[in-house]
Amino acid sequence: MSRRLSGRRVIYIVYAAIVSIAALMGFILGTINPEGMDPTLFFVVDLPATPVGMVIFGVSTIGLGLGALLLLVAYVADRYDDAELS
């Protein structure tokens, strides 16, 4: 029937989409720069409340968080996933 895509590729695209949304959010908030915004990356690195700073904040937080999930997926899928394609 329809074409088949590699699952990984689909997931990379979803991952990229979500991280871009985080980046966009950071960019918009950084541009607006509301009062009291004080991004601190992973509770240690102080970032400036600028578009660049906020984009870094959004991309690193969400990117690494979801990235860790994907690494775990890759690890588990290679080792324990025996439901092979027929």
Partner 1 sequence: MGDMASGQIAITVLMGLLLVVVAALLTRIENWRSYAPTAGASSLTGEETSYGHSEKPGGITRWLTTVDHKDIGILYGAFALVAFAVGGIMVVLMRTELMWAGEDIMSASLYNSLLTSHGITMLFLFGTPIIAAFGNYFVPLLIGADDMAFPRINAIAFWLLPPGALLIWGGFLIPGMEAAQTSWTMYTPLSAEQPMIGADLMILGLHLTGVSATMGAINFIATIFTERDEEVTWANLDIFSWTMLTQSGLILFAFPLLGSALVMLLLDRNVGTTFFATEGGGAILWQHLFWFFGHPEVYILVLPPMGLISYIIPRFSGRKLFGFKFVVYSTLAIGVLSFGVWAHHMFSTGIDPRLQVSFMAVSLAIAIPSAVKTFNWITTMWNGKIRLTTPMLFSIGFVANFIIGGVTGVFLATIPVDYLLHDTYYVVGHFHYVIMGAIAFAVFAGIYYWFPIYTGKMYQKALGKWHFWLTMIGTNLTFFGMLILGYLGMPRRYATYNLVSVGPIDLFTILHQSATIGAFILLIGQLVFVWNVVSSWLYGRRVADGDPWDLKDDALYSREFRWHERRMNDDLVLADGGASDDGSEES
Binding site for partner 1 (CB under 8 A): 1-8, 10-11, 14, 17-18, 21, 24-25, 28-29, 32, 34, 62, 65-66, 69-70, 72-74, 76-77, 81, 83-86
CB 84 to partner 1: min, Å: 8
Of 45 and 76, nearer to partner 1 (C-beta) is 76
DSSP state of 44: T
SS3 track for 13-39 = HHHHHHHHHHHHHHHHHHHHCCCCCCC
